[in-house]
Amino acid sequence: MTFRIAATACVTTMLLATGASTQQVRSVNSYGVPGLIDMPSAQMQPDAELTTSLTLLSNGAGRGQIAFQLLPRVQALFRYASLPDFLADGTGDFERTYDRSFDLRFQVLRESRNLPAVTIGLQDFGGTSIYAAEYVVATKSFGDFTVTGGIGWGRLGTREGFGNPLGVLDDRFDTRPGLDIGRGGTVQSDQLFRGDAALFGGVQYEVNDRLTLKAEYSSDAYVAEVERDIIDIETPLNFGFDYAVRPNVRVGGYVLHGSEVGLTFQVALNPKRGTFGSGLDPAPRPVTVRPARAANPQVWNTAWTQDVVTVPAVRTGLDTSLEEDGLDLFATKIDGTRAEIHFRNTRYTTTAQAIGRAARHATATLPASVETFVLVPLNGQGIAGTAVVLRRSDIEAFENSPNGAAEILAVAGRVDAATLDRAGLMIEPDALPRFRWSLGPYVTVSAFDPDNPARVDLGAELAASYAPVQGVIFEGSIRRRLIGNRDESTRESNSVLPRVRTESNLFARTDGPFIGYATANYIWRPGRNLYARVSAGLLEQQYGGVSTELLWKRDGSPLAIGVEANSVRQREFDMRLGFQDLDATTAFVTGYLEHGGGFHSRLAVGQYLAGDKGATYELTREFSNGWAVSAYATKTDVSAEDFGEGSFDKGIKVTIPFSWIIGTQTQTASSNVIQPILRDGGARLNLRNRLYPSVRAQSAPDLMTDWDRFWR
């Protein structure tokens, strides 16, 4: 039905949120932001709170929202709504309308003993403008009562409106242009805070720690809905209640306008708070402390390096020990006082924790004479980034120190692994060739189709990879859809651009097994601070060809720069071995920047699949447990008219690590992209093995950000 996506999101979030938060979150209004019933308040959710809400109204309308507390004073929201009989269908009749919109809220003043909280909000500022409004609102608590009052424009300025007080600054504020629903996706700046304004307000009373009663005076006259006989407005007063089923799960009921009733369902979780506290992983093995040299000088002797039995036994013992913690020994270079250890981290979400575990195992298995550990973690493609150099005596000294992570960091060294001398490096016999395979389910979701807001396929996927030598990887997958309805989409593309993505529904109609991807990849280090990749084959479900990439990333630098070029051809709709006639060349220069505080961004400039040229900017907030929330926007030389509905490409991406859900370490994660509309402008390839994500995790500053997990 209409709200399958929002309802599924609510249920999923509720399952994830169980036990995830002990802090009771703010109740939200029918638009998904902290507030009363229809009206917003000035309150904010706790920092990083991710809130999913669903509103159902008795007139058949409804809204699903996902809000994220980006900063303590900044909240962003995506809304998907269904309105009955709202827009004309081209024949003069009205039809159900599915609408997408975005909100932004900025809290300019926090509540204090004597002053209220004050927030400025932009509602539906980048969508179709059906819900477009701006407001300034203040909220103050008095014991169990919370009072809210504000002034609104747009929708929130349509009841008992008066002359815009901002008109004293500029006459342009006095008039608000007519509502231009259009194709959406553009910020109609000529409407912001313009036209008549109106006052709204209300009060809520906390009966106890679960039940809250609400009453409000609404400044929204629902002009368009009344004209279309969607709503009858008998009174500007709304009344309702809100009940906390759990600290992070709330339900509410409302009586609106004297003629309608509504229900809300709200679920919240916070990536900053773990589902299982510090986790369910077993404690690491203790550091093995060597006897004092004076007490037992014999064990410090380096004569063992000449023993043809002892040296292989040391390597075998290290390999076996590392396996206990999901670390695969790849290569070693060991002499009497120094050990260089190359290993794959197949379990831990943070490189620092993998390095800490490897260091512990090295103390347990290497002879006492080995004082220097050079620990070289490899990424998923088997490529080294930064090597961490530690003194064994420091590991022994700081293990149980109250500030041990900071102390070991202060004495740790870092070098680019590409500068290490490979002479004498011995690759483990079982490290290469390496074959891996998996068989499991897959889920593919096509969201926001105007004919059906949620289409889902469920099937089975067989995936395999083979690495004959370091850096060379052959990989592929075969899928078979078992159940689903993505093949039922009959919407035809109306794009005036090369149809590089708008015929995705035709790919979904394939019957029988199909090839998800099948590529040959070569990934290597051409020099210091440099990483390179060449991939060829069926690069993704819709395109095959050749992809090349070069990345510069210096350890410790917040900046990385990448260059990518691809020459591809569109695959046949059956997604097997055939190709169509559509060719495309894409090329980008991308800058990556670490901002600190968990924020990082990328700016890519270049040519996209449809031949359009422009730029993509993406901002990500990432947490130490692997959670990440991103927002991106792409603007190219394609006009909003030629782009079509949505005007330009944009979306939200949420990455949920499974380790956060199950409480034990695993690198598996689920990444979900919320893309309001899929068009041909600003389209890129969905490539595997892009360099920056894995390189970033291997080097500072990201490596140092999570260093507190070194002893975990």
**pLDDT tens digits, 374-413:** 999 999 899 999 999 999 999 999 999 999 999 999 999 9
| CA distances (Å), origin 360, targets 138, 348, 393, 476 | 55, 15, 12, 36
- CA gap 201, 215 in Å, rounded: 9
Residue 299, pLDDT above cutoff 80: yes
What's the pLDDT score for residue 190?
77
**Architecture field, domain 434-703:** Beta Barrel (2.40)
**pLDDT tens digits, 311-321:** 999 999 999 99
The candidate with the shortest Cα–Cα distance to 53, out of 44, 61, 62, is 62
Helix H or strand E segment including 353: helix 351-365
- CA gap 128, 147 in Å, rounded: 31
Q: Which two tokens stand for residue 35?
A: 């507030």
What's the pLDDT score for residue 675?
85
User: What does the pLDDT average to over 60-64?
Assistant: 92
| CA distances (Å), origin 617, targets 124, 218, 460, 590, 650 | 21, 37, 34, 10, 10
Q: In degrees rounded to 5, what are phi and psi of residue 286?
A: -65, 155
pTM confidence score:
0.90
| CA distances (Å), origin 182, targets 129, 185, 644, 646 | 9, 9, 10, 9
Q: Which two tokens stand for residue 215?
A: 């009453």
- CA gap 363, 372 in Å, rounded: 11
Residue 539, pLDDT above cutoff 60: yes
What's the pLDDT score for residue 13?
46
Helix H or strand E segment including 365: helix 351-365
**Mean pLDDT (the chain, rounded):** 91
Helix H or strand E segment including 313: helix 310-323
pLDDT band (50, 70, 90) for residue 573:
very high
CATH number of 297-431: 3.30.300
Residue 600, Cβ density class (10 Å: 0-12 exposed, 13-18 middle, ≥19 buried): buried
What's the pLDDT score for residue 11?
42
**pLDDT tens digits, 118-147:** 999 999 987 678 899 999 999 999 999 999
- Range(s) for CATH 3.30.300 in the chain? 297-431
User: Angle at which helices 310-323 and 351-365 pack, to 10 degrees?
Assistant: 140
pLDDT band (50, 70, 90) for residue 585:
very high
**pLDDT tens digits, 343-374:** 999 999 999 999 999 999 999 999 999 999 99
pLDDT band (50, 70, 90) for residue 181:
low
Residue 256, pLDDT above cutoff 70: yes
Diameter over CA atoms, the chain: 96
For the segment(s) 4-269, the CATH number from 2.60.120.10, 2.40.160.40, 2.60.40.1180, 3.40.50.920 is 2.40.160.40
The candidate with the shortest Cα–Cα distance to 513, out of 455, 575, 463, 465, is 575
DSSP state of 486: G
- CA gap 292, 610 in Å, rounded: 69
Cα 323 to the center of its chain, rounded Å: 31
Within 10 A of 448 (CB to CB), how many other CB atoms are there? Answer: 19
Q: In degrees rounded to 5, what are phi and psi of residue 85?
A: 50, 50
Look at 596 and 177; give whichever has higher pLDDT. Answer: 596
**pLDDT tens digits, 627-684:** 999 999 999 999 988 998 778 899 999 999 998 888 888 888 888 888 888 899 999 9
- Range(s) for CATH 2.40.160.40 in the chain? 4-269
Cα 597 to the center of its chain, rounded Å: 16
User: What does the pLDDT average to over 242-248?
Assistant: 93
Residue 172, pLDDT above cutoff 50: yes
